[in-house]
Amino acid sequence: MAWTEGESVEVLFRAEEIQARVRRLGQRITLDYQGKALVLLGILKGSFVFLADLMRAIALPLTVDFMAISSYGASTRSSGVVRILKDLDHSIEGKHVLVVEDIVDTGLTLNYIYGHVRARGAASVRICCCLDKPSRRQVAVPVHYKGFEIPDEFVVGYGLDVDERYRNLPDLCRLVRNPA
C-alpha cells in the first residue's frame, strides 16, 4: 500500500493478532493489580491507540493520565534529548503506575520517564509496551509487559507515525522507503 510517493507499508501484525495480544496483556495486568490503585500513564502521542484498547482489556478500576515527551520530530532516529512537553495532570503519590508506551527503541525516553515517575512518589512503576526493539537498546529499562518483539525496523500504524502520518492504520506495518 502506498500513501505517500516514495513510501509504502507492509503489514507486520494484523489488527486481529494485535487485539488477541492486547487481551492477553489485559488479563495478566488484571491479575497482577488486584486491589491496587492503578494509574495507566500513556506517553503521547504514539501510545493512545494501544492504551485505548489495553484499558478496556483490564477488568479493574483504574485512572488514566498522559505525558508528552519530545522525541524524534521529523526524523526516524532518536536524538537522545528528552524534554517534557506535557506533565502529569494528577498526583501519583502512593499509586501503582503502569507506563504505557507504543515502542521501546533505545530506551532513553522510558529511562527518563521511569525516573521521573519514581521521583513523584509512586508506590510502584512498571512498563507496558506494544512493541520492543531490543537490538536497539542503549540503556536498560525494565519492560514488564510487552506485545511483540521486533527487529530493527521502522514501524507505523496502530498509533505510530512518521511525520504524523499513518497513525490510523489498524495494522502494525513496516515502513518501506522506495528509491526514486
Binding site for ligand 5GP (CB under 6 A): 46, 71-72, 78, 101-109, 154-156, 160-162
The x, y and z cell numbers of residue 156, run together, are: 507505523
**Residue 25 Cβ vs ligand 5GP, minimum distance, rounded to whole Å:** 17
Q: Is 161 a catalytic residue?
A: no
- What gap in Å lies between CA 80 and CA 106, rounded to an integer? 8
Taking the complex as a whole, the smallest distance from the CB of residue 34 to ligand 5GP amounts, in Å, to: 29
User: Looking at beta carbons only, is 103 or 128 nearer to ligand 5GP?
Assistant: 103
118 close to 132: Cβ distance less than 8 angstroms: no
Residue 148 and residue 174: Cα distance in Å, rounded?
Answer: 14
CB of residue 110 vs ligand 5GP: minimum separation in angstroms?
6
- Our CB check for ligand 5GP shows the closer of 104 and 128 to be 104
Residue from 105, 132, 152, 163 carrying the catalytic annotation: 105
State which residue, 53 or 101, has the beta carbon closest to ligand 5GP.
Answer: 101
End-to-end, the C-alpha distance of the chain in Å comes to: 17
Instruction: Count the alpha carbons within 13 Å of 99 in the hemisphere toward its beta carbon.
Output: 27
From the CB of 155, what's the least distance to ligand 5GP, in Å? 4
Of 28 and 154, CB closest to ligand 5GP: 154
The catalytic site residues sit at 105
